[in-house]
Amino acid sequence: MQISLNKNALLRLGTELIRLAHNYKGGKHYHIDPIENEDASQVMGIILHPESCELIIC
Strand runs (DSSP E) across the chain, as ranges? 30-32, 55-57
pLDDT for position 46: 74
Within a domain: 34: yes
Cα–Cα distance list, 25 to 10, 19, 28, 30, 43 (Å): 24, 12, 6, 12, 17
Within a domain: 19: yes
CA distance 58 to 51: 22
CB 44 within 8 A of CB 32: yes
CB 23 within 8 A of CB 14: no
pTM above 0.75, yes or no: no
Within a domain: 17: yes
Range of the domain at 30: 7-57
pLDDT for position 1: 65
User: What would the pLDDT profile of 4-56 be if each residue is shown by its tens digit?
Assistant: 778 988 888 888 888 888 887 788 888 888 888 766 666 666 778 888 888 88
Within a domain: 1: no
Within a domain: 2: no
Domain count, the chain: 1
Within a domain: 33: yes
Within a domain: 44: yes
